[in-house]
Chain A
Amino acid sequence: MNEKQVHIHIDHLTMAYGSNLIQKDLDFDIYRGDVFVIMGGSGCGKSTLLKHMIGLYPPSTGEILYEGESFNQANEQRQFEMRRGWGITYQTGGLFSAMTLAQNTALPLQQYTELSAAEIDDIVAYKLALVGLGGYQDYYPSEISGGMQKRAGLARAIALDPEILFFDEPSAGLDPISSQLLDELILEMQESLGATVIIVTHELASIFAIASNSVFLDAETKTMIDYGDPKVLRQQSEHEKVRKFLARGSTPSGDPA
């Protein structure tokens, strides 16, 4: 089964807040097992696209199809089932500050499974160990560093062995080493779970290290202007904007993003 299967299809999607158009006519496929990067300059609507994909905002027009099935058209029961297969990490962690890391990670397990408390404890210990946070069960998010919070967010996202992992700016605010470690962790998770990974980022180092496919959103024309493997796009994109965006990483004197 070498032929790539379409996992998520974005079908002529237009996103808008009221009359304020964000992006129009987005139309592309995300294949199963891809590490797919949504890139573009600040304010082009990357995170908004992600929020549409995870069903927080309804599309203005168009559809987002998961294996041919629309999340927005589905009934409540079906949406619940579809959400079970998603793991999401948020830009600022999204950890519940009133709960310990163990309670944070246990929440999706309690929500979706019938596991006993002892079984949940074991799985939580394992998930936290996977992201390098073994033994931090009883810590509150405010007691650990920003990089650890991101990893704890990942532990919660992978609690249910998701089919699709969404990351909103995973390495924002991390030092290069931590951000590299997080990239490696994302790849490991992708391989071991066989998941499809969707990442919103503008960190070039990350993009080249992990992406297997990408889409470039343009803030001016308010639509996607390129689609493909970023390593290829860097050399061969028809759009100077895309090449420029991607080339900045190779010039060491360039400003940090």
Chain B
Amino acid sequence: MPESQPPRFTLEQDGQLLKLSGDWTIEQDCPTFSALREQLSQVQPAAIACDTAALGEWDSALPAFLLQCHNYCSDSGIDFDTSALPEGASSLLKLATAVKPHKPPEEKPLSLAEMLDFRHRLEDAWEVVRDHLEFIGDATIALGKLLAGRANTRREDFLTFIHQSGPDAFGIVTLTAFLVGMILAYLGAAQLAQFGAQIYVADLVTIGMLREMGALMVAVVMAGRTGAAYAAQLGTMQTREEIDAIVTLGISPMEFLVLPRMVALVLIMPLLVLYANVVGIFGGAIVAAGLDVTLTQFSQQMTKVISFAHLGTGLLKSVFFGLLIAIAGCRAGIQCGRSSAAVGEAATKAVVTSIVYLIVADAAFNILFQELGI
């Protein structure tokens, strides 16, 4: 086997002859067209012919180079004669130049004034808000139809989603709630011990779980778990034209797809929160037992402080949280683009929007309860 020669080109006869030599394969370090363009722009020949007498082996690297050369020549009115090329190379080049290259429409870069156009941005923001309101409105209408017994919602779907968001979430809810209960206890114990008031750890854990942490932690878990799943399911259905099929069958996607998911989550959330409260308080009690508050003392203290108001505020929140997670998830899914990348974006959007919703709603609830003195 002969030693491979480095690929080279030289421009001779005032740029009229392009001499190619060596092995033009992609393993070699082939010259790029920019070097030839520089030389050509200096001599500006009227026509170029090729000389391939010294050309060795070649693969795609050669026609790739020649195609650039061809495009440059046809743009600047130079006659590019390819007759001397090896047969395979000239037929490949012919194939590559059979279709005129597509010229993408030019996009005007935005001017600074346009980029800073606040009116435009406000309009965009308003568009998003309107869109949300529209979605909520549609969902409400669909819910009304469901209550009137006229909605096109399948019972089996509903039960599947109950199962997915309820029993299937038990493990992760148990773990997070238990740990959050423990965290609350540790947090409080360190401070309360300074006043010798460790017993009030029970108050802290109970009220903390019931009013706040139970609902919020379950909601965060469900946003990541179920909200993202809803977005991914509906987004995939969108990419596979399933939602188009549903619409053209005369079925409302809102009733058929969104409603069962939403209702399932709204019904399941308070139950999960109730369960999380029990587990969380238990977790707190175990930590407290390690800090010289016995289980009996803890439970006595707990029954003193527990009240319907504490429990009710948490459960009320959880119903709203479930609604918000379902809305964020389903809306992201329904409005998903038609590529696989869009499904990923939809899932991310679902989680981020739900968590923002949750925090804002939680803050609003706390202000409201404070004002009402609950």
A residues with CB within 8 A of B:
97-98, 109, 113, 115-116, 118-119, 122-123, 125-127, 129-130, 132-136, 138-142, 159-161, 188, 192
Alpha-carbon distance between A152 and B101 when the two chains are bound, in angstroms: 14
Alpha-carbon distance between A29 and B82 when the two chains are bound, in angstroms: 39
Give 15 CB contacts A-B under 8 Å.
A97-B339, A97-B342, A113-B27, A122-B33, A122-B68, A126-B63, A127-B60, A129-B99, A130-B92, A130-B96, A133-B102, A134-B102, A141-B339, A161-B26, A192-B95
Q: How far is the CB of A9 from chain B (nearest CB, A)?
A: 27
In the complex, the answer to whether B339 meets A140 with C-beta atoms within 8 Å is: yes
Q: How many A-B residue pairs have CB under 8 A?
A: 81
Mask of B60-90 contacts with A, CB within 8 angstroms, 1/0: 1101110110000000000000000000100
Q: How far is the CB of A38 from chain B (nearest CB, A)?
A: 26
B26, B32, B339, most chain A CB atoms within 10 A: B26
Partner of A119 from the list B32, B59, B92 (CB cut-off 8 Å) is B32
In the complex, the answer to whether A123 meets B61 with C-beta atoms within 8 Å is: yes
B108 at the interface (CB under 8 A from A): no
Partner of B32 from the list A97, A122, A126, A127 (CB cut-off 8 Å) is A122
Alpha-carbon distance between A81 and B305 when the two chains are bound, in angstroms: 71
| B99 surroundings in chain A (CB, below 8 A) | 129, 132-134
In the complex, the answer to whether A97 meets B340 with C-beta atoms within 8 Å is: yes
Q: How far is the CB of B341 from chain A (nearest CB, A)?
A: 4
In the complex, the answer to whether B30 meets A119 with C-beta atoms within 8 Å is: yes
B98 at the interface (CB under 8 A from A): yes
Partner of B65 from the list A122, A133, A139, A192 (CB cut-off 8 Å) is A122
In the complex, the answer to whether A142 meets B61 with C-beta atoms within 8 Å is: no
In the complex, the answer to whether B95 meets A130 with C-beta atoms within 8 Å is: yes
Mask of B334-353 contacts with A, CB within 8 angstroms, 1/0: 00011111100000000000
B140 at the interface (CB under 8 A from A): no
B34 at the interface (CB under 8 A from A): yes
Chain A residue at smallest Cβ distance from B342: A97
Chain A residue at smallest Cβ distance from B30: A119
Pairs A-B, 10 closest by C-beta atoms = A135-B102, A134-B101, A97-B339, A126-B64, A98-B341, A135-B101, A129-B96, A132-B99, A123-B64, A122-B64
In the complex, the answer to whether A123 meets B60 with C-beta atoms within 8 Å is: yes
Mask of B99-121 contacts with A, CB within 8 angstroms, 1/0: 11111100000000000000000
B residues with CB within 8 A of A:
26-27, 30, 32-34, 59-61, 63-65, 67-68, 88, 91-92, 95-104, 337-342
Partner of B96 from the list A97, A134, A136 (CB cut-off 8 Å) is A134
| A192 surroundings in chain B (CB, below 8 A) | 88, 91-92, 95
Alpha-carbon distance between A138 and B340 when the two chains are bound, in angstroms: 18
In the complex, the answer to whether A126 meets B338 with C-beta atoms within 8 Å is: no
In the complex, the answer to whether A126 meets B26 with C-beta atoms within 8 Å is: no
| B104 surroundings in chain A (CB, below 8 A) | 135-136, 138-139
Alpha-carbon distance between A204 and B27 when the two chains are bound, in angstroms: 40
Q: How far is the CB of B36 from chain A (nearest CB, A)?
A: 11
Contact of A97 with B341 at beta-carbon distance under 8 Å, contacts A119-B32, A129-B101, A135-B104 already known: yes
Partner of B67 from the list A98, A118, A126, A141 (CB cut-off 8 Å) is A126
| A125 surroundings in chain B (CB, below 8 A) | 64, 67-68
Q: How far is the CB of A196 from chain B (nearest CB, A)?
A: 17
In the complex, the answer to whether B34 meets A118 with C-beta atoms within 8 Å is: yes
In the complex, the answer to whether B341 meets A118 with C-beta atoms within 8 Å is: no
| B88 surroundings in chain A (CB, below 8 A) | 192
Alpha-carbon distance between A123 and B30 when the two chains are bound, in angstroms: 11
Chain A residue at smallest Cβ distance from B343: A97
| B60 surroundings in chain A (CB, below 8 A) | 123, 126-127, 159, 161
| A139 surroundings in chain B (CB, below 8 A) | 104
Alpha-carbon distance between A60 and B202 when the two chains are bound, in angstroms: 62
A116, A138, A192, most chain B CB atoms within 10 A: A192
Additional A-B contact list (10), CB under 8 Å, known A132-B98, A142-B337: A118-B32, A122-B64, A126-B63, A126-B64, A126-B96, A129-B96, A129-B97, A130-B95, A142-B338, A159-B60
| A142 surroundings in chain B (CB, below 8 A) | 337-339
Alpha-carbon distance between A150 and B61 when the two chains are bound, in angstroms: 23
A122, A136, A139, A142, most chain B CB atoms within 10 A: A122
Q: How far is the CB of B372 from chain A (nearest CB, A)?
A: 49
